[in-house]
């Protein structure tokens, strides 16, 4: 399948990240933000949609380094808050440094809540996303 739907990408990304708190947190942050998995250039530079050889389970594999390079080179046009969310996800998933102060000051309340839930999830709190202000995963 070469052109998966957004729902297929989402479920395949969750399947790929499953088992690593940090990857789960980064992927869920991108999913909850609602921009990056459907962003044409992000899909072009940083996503591979593949099917596991033996299990036939589809995976959305995110190349965090490629996303970082494309973002820094201006290959993925986006708003400041969209860039901040991606930078935070990059930091959670791949340890890339992010200046947290500037990254969070431009976020609205919803996205700030997503970032806080992602940080909690990365530390091992899998129920962090299940607050009354957010949809269950």
**What's the rounded Cα separation, in Å, for the pair 13 and 115?**
18
Predicted pLDDT at 136: 42
**pTM of the complete model:** 0.90
- pLDDT for position 131: 58
Distance CA(135)–CA(126), nearest Å, equals 14
Beta strand extents in the chain (DSSP E only):
47-51, 58-62
Q: Please give the average per-residue pLDDT across 40-53, as a whole number.
A: 92
- Cα–Cα distances in Å, from 84 out to 103, 112, 131? 5, 10, 22
SS3 50: strand
Q: Is the pLDDT confidence value at 132 over 60?
A: no
């Amino acid at each position: 399948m070469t052109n998966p739907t957004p729902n297929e990408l989402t479920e395949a990304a969750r399947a790929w990240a499953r088992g690593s708190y940090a990857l789960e947190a980064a992927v869920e942050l991108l999913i909850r933000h609602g921009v990056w998995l459907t962003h044409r250039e992000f899909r072009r530079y940083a996503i591979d949609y593949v099917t596991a050889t033996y299990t036939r389970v589809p995976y959305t594999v995110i190349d965090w380094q490629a996303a970082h390079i494309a973002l820094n080179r201006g290959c993925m046009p986006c708003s400041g808050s969209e860039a901040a969310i991606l930078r935070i996800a990059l930091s959670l998933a791949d340890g890339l440094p992010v200046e947290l102060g500037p990254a969070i000051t431009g976020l609205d309340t919803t996205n700030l809540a997503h970032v806080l839930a992602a940080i909690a999830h990365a530390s091992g709190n899998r129920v962090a996303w299940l607050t009354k202000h957010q949809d269950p995963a």
